[in-house]
Amino acid sequence: MRDSFKDYCANPNNPKWENMIKREKELYSRKEDIRSEFERDHNRIINTTGYRRMKHKTQVFFSPTNDHICTRIEHVTHVESISYTIANYLGLNTELTKAIATAHDIGHSPFGHAGERILSEISLRDIGETFWHEKNGVDMVDKIELLADNKGNKQNLNLTYAVRDGIISHCGEIDENFLRPRDEAIDLKEYTMPNQYAPYTWEGCVVKIADKISYLGRDIQDAIILGILDENLEKLYEILNASLDEPINNTVLINNFVYDLCVNSTPEKGMCFSEKAFEMINQIKKFNYNYIYFSGKRDLEIEYFKLIINTIYNTLKQLRTDKEKILKLHPKLASDFNEWISTYWNLERKEKQKNDVIFNVQDEKDFCKAIIYYISGMTDNYAIDMYNRIVRF
């Protein structure tokens, strides 16, 4: 029902409001600024390098020659659009969903989820921590991404709690058909794995569901365009209960799932689909995993990603013990990384550098973590270019 969640909207009347808009530090203000707290967050996000780089990061299909295949930035735009439609209909805060959706994948590595798994293997081996893009997303907006303030000082983004929580809580895998926000404004450092806690806000719940609605249908559409599903289309039509003569249209799938969610959700039950729609979502998800994500058609590219990421990581790791050699052999990669890490280390600070110090360069684990952060921020093209520079003479 329209506006059925308006009494739970993220606004000053909500008892959670002060926690929602809380920042780790006080954010500078301008007298002439007319934006809300969440609008400021959104504006800060879209001015980051991490946001801009998503246009050159894999969503599912790597390096397509077809310009119409979805990239990470297009996926983010889809999630923002779907979130807006749901939140607007239900009476929730669309400024908050917009900020969360825009930033939700800012922590994704190059080469999509395959790159994420490769970095996690490295991180677990050398640091003792798993790497997952939701946690990395919060780290990016908390520690890595910087903006100049009104005095020209580079500082951390310092986003509101509600947006930061939405980023780390957005994992799109929903195993139960009822999603409600949690009550406690926990320290986000308590997260140790994806999907560990429900989001803190209803708006965060909307983005979490919109993420799934967005990628399920679009991944199918892209796979059809690329001819990956030619042998299995009949199975897909059986799931959709459609005729083989009917085109599979992503916009129709999105509309049907959004409508179903909106008419079935209530504050008492939570965000939910009808049983029929939820069953179809689970069947589509299973189909995508079997015939798209782990179909066997992508085995060679995953080996290629492993080679690229591990080669870059191992080369940069040598900077700590043999700096002059690596600078000589791989000047572009080494100098780019040194310039980047100097912004965050515990040695000399540059003028106008007011962001947090996060790396002790004498500590081996800190140095390894810095490399992982650095690689996670790379675009596909930059990572490939750096790999090619390493291996060629």
CATH number of residue 173's parent domain:
1.10.3210.10
Do residues 313 and 122 touch, judged by C-beta distance below 8 A?
Answer: yes
> How many independent structural domains does the chain possess?
2
For residue 206, is it within any domain? yes
Q: Do both 95 and 29 map to the same domain?
A: yes
pLDDT in tens, 44-74: 999 999 999 999 999 998 876 678 889 999 9
Q: 331 is in which domain, residue-wise?
A: 299-391
Handedness of CA 377, 310, 122, 223 (dihedral sign): positive
Q: Do both 288 and 325 map to the same domain?
A: no
pLDDT confidence bin for 245, thresholds 50/70/90? low
For residue 380, is it within any domain? yes
Burial 117-133 (b: 16+ CB within 10 A, else e): bbbbebbeebeeebbbb
Whole-number mean pLDDT of the chain? 93
Q: Do both 243 and 312 map to the same domain?
A: no
Q: Do both 281 and 310 map to the same domain?
A: no
Residue 30 has pLDDT above 80, yes or no: no
CB-facing half-sphere around the CA of 374: CA atoms within 13 A: 29
Last residue of a domain, one of 269, 293, 317: 293
Selection from 146, 175, 166, 170 nearest residue 342 by Cα:
146
Task: Report pLDDT for 297.
Answer: 73
Rounded to two decimals, the pTM is 0.95
For residue 117, is it within any domain? no
Give the position of tokens 């140790």: 192
Tell me which amino acid residue 104 is: H
For residue 149, is it within any domain? yes
Do residues 165 and 204 touch, judged by C-beta distance below 8 A?
Answer: yes
Alpha helix (H) ranges present in 132-201? 133-139, 161-168
CB-facing half-sphere around the CA of 245: CA atoms within 13 A: 0
Last residue of a domain, one of 293, 309, 339: 293
Task: Report pLDDT for 173.
Answer: 64
Q: Do both 71 and 100 map to the same domain?
A: yes
Q: Do both 233 and 308 map to the same domain?
A: no
Alpha carbon 111 to chain centroid, angstroms: 13
pLDDT in tens, 132-170: 999 999 999 999 999 998 888 999 999 999 999 999 999
Alpha helix (H) ranges present in 54-151? 72-90, 94-103, 112-126, 133-139
Q: Do both 267 and 344 map to the same domain?
A: no
Q: Do both 175 and 99 map to the same domain?
A: yes
Q: Do both 20 and 156 map to the same domain?
A: yes
First-residue to last-residue Cα distance in the chain: 65
